[in-house]
């Protein structure tokens, strides 16, 4: 039976009515739980976003009580599997190729400067909070373009990290719908992708072999083995953390730059923060810091 538009809307309204609005007490319990697990902070004005993410999953499980669902998800062993599923609902997945052209232009200049100065003519790049890989591959495309321009054999590695297995899987596959490639320079679309179908494109193997994806909770960034990075790209990720944790993450990232390496972050993400080994880069295109001391 095919439902009319009006009928479908009525069904949606009925389903939504099955789960009541989250109380302030329930919101406090849930945001404390999420912040403990992820470090991500939900201010009061984002209550509706948290509630929306939860109710989508609760409907799938036929739950109607936030407290009952929290009890299940927080169970030491039994709740782990469900937490991993819910995690994919909670993680912000807003990303696209070449999202910030100004920041990417600065990244290219940083890469070029580093490549000219390094004897081994190689680059190590870290894409922090990479989501489904668009940012990570954009950095790889910049590397490919740079090595070709300098007539050098491509020797680079780009590591993308995120907390969600779901988005990391998409990144590893490197397959994207045409609509996801809006904003990407047309020459790159032809050069770095194979068309799989009418609306499906995959990053070419010779690029993907330089890129890897790893699961990493930003709250536990100190456990990452990465160090001596020429470029760390971490835009629009830190805004979801409280200042104290944000500063700790920035400290860790700064310590993992090689001498002369650069950290690029989003505007407003380094308020009241400084690092004794870093200085701010004098460039209006993006907020960046360079390591100037060992």
Cα–Cα distance, 272 to 159 (Å, whole number): 28
SS (HEC) of 235-263? CCCHHHECHHHHHHHHHHHHHCEEEEEEE
Q: In the chain, which residues fall in CATH 3.40.50.150?
A: 101-291
**Which CATH number does 5-90 carry?**
1.10.155
Number of C-beta neighbours around residue 27 at 10 A: 20
**Tens-digit pLDDT profile for residues 14-59:** 444 478 899 999 999 999 999 999 999 999 999 999 999 999 999 9
CB 235 within 8 A of CB 266: yes
Per-residue pLDDT at 198: 86
CB-based contact 143:154 (threshold 8 Å): yes
Rounded to an integer, the average pLDDT of 144-148 is 98
Please name which of 200, 204, 258, 206 lies closest in space to residue 228, comparing C-alpha atoms.
258
Residue 91: its pLDDT value, please? 82
Look up the CATH number of domain 101-291: 3.40.50.150
pLDDT given at position 4? 46
Given a cut of 50, whether residue 13 has pLDDT beyond it is no
Question: Does residue 12 surpass a pLDDT of 80?
Answer: no
Judged by average pLDDT, the poorest of 93-97, 187-191, 222-226 is 93-97
Long-range contacts of 242-249 (CB under 8 A, 24+ apart): 242/35, 242/41, 243/271, 243/272, 245/39, 245/219, 246/273, 247/272, 247/273, 248/222, 249/218, 249/221
User: How far apart are alpha carbons 82 and 69 in whole angstroms?
Assistant: 10
Segments of the chain assigned to CATH 1.10.155: 5-90
* pTM assigned to the model: 0.89
pLDDT given for residue 1 in this prediction: 39
> How would DSSP label each residue in 113-142?
HHHHH-TT--EEEEEES-TTTHHHHHHHHH
Burial class of residue 6 (count of CB atoms within 10 Å of its CB; 0-12, 13-18, 19+):
exposed
Give the per-residue pLDDT at 93.
66
Give the model's pLDDT for residue 137: 97
């Amino acid at each position: 039976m095919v439902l009319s538009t009006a009928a479908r809307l009525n069904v949606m309204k009925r389903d939504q009515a099955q789960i009541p609005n989250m109380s302030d007490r329930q919101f406090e319990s849930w945001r404390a739980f999420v912040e403990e697990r992820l470090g991500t902070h939900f201010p009061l004005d984002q209550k509706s976003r948290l509630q929306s993410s939860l109710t989508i999953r609760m409907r799938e499980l036929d739950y109607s009580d936030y407290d009952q669902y929290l009890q299940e998800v927080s169970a030491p062993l039994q709740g782990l599997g469900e937490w991993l599923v819910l995690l994919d609902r909670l993680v912000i997945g807003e990303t696209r190729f070449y999202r910030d052209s100004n920041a990417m232009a600065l990244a290219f200049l940083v890469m070029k400067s580093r490549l000219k100065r390094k004897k081994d003519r190689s680059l190590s790049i870290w894409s922090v909070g990479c989501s489904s890989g668009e940012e990570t591959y954009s950095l790889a495309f910049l590397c490919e373009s740079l090595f070709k321009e300098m007539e050098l054999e491509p020797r680079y590695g780009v590591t993308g990290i995120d907390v969600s297995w779901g988005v990391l899987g998409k990144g590893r596959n490197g397959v994207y719908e045409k609509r996801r490639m809006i904003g990407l320079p047309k020459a790159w679309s032809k050069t770095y992708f194979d068309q799989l179908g009418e609306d499906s494109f995959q990053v070419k193997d010779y690029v993907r072999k330089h890129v890897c994806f790893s699961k990493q909770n930003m709250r536990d960034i100190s456990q990452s083995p990465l160090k001596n990075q020429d470029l760390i790209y971490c835009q629009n990720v830190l805004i979801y953390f409280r200042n104290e944790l944000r500063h700790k993450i920035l400290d860790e990232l700064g310590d993992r730059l090689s001498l002369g390496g650069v950290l690029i972050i989003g505007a407003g993400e380094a308020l009241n923060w400084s690092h004794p080994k870093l200085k701010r880069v004098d460039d209006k295109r993006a907020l960046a810091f360079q390591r100037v001391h060992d």
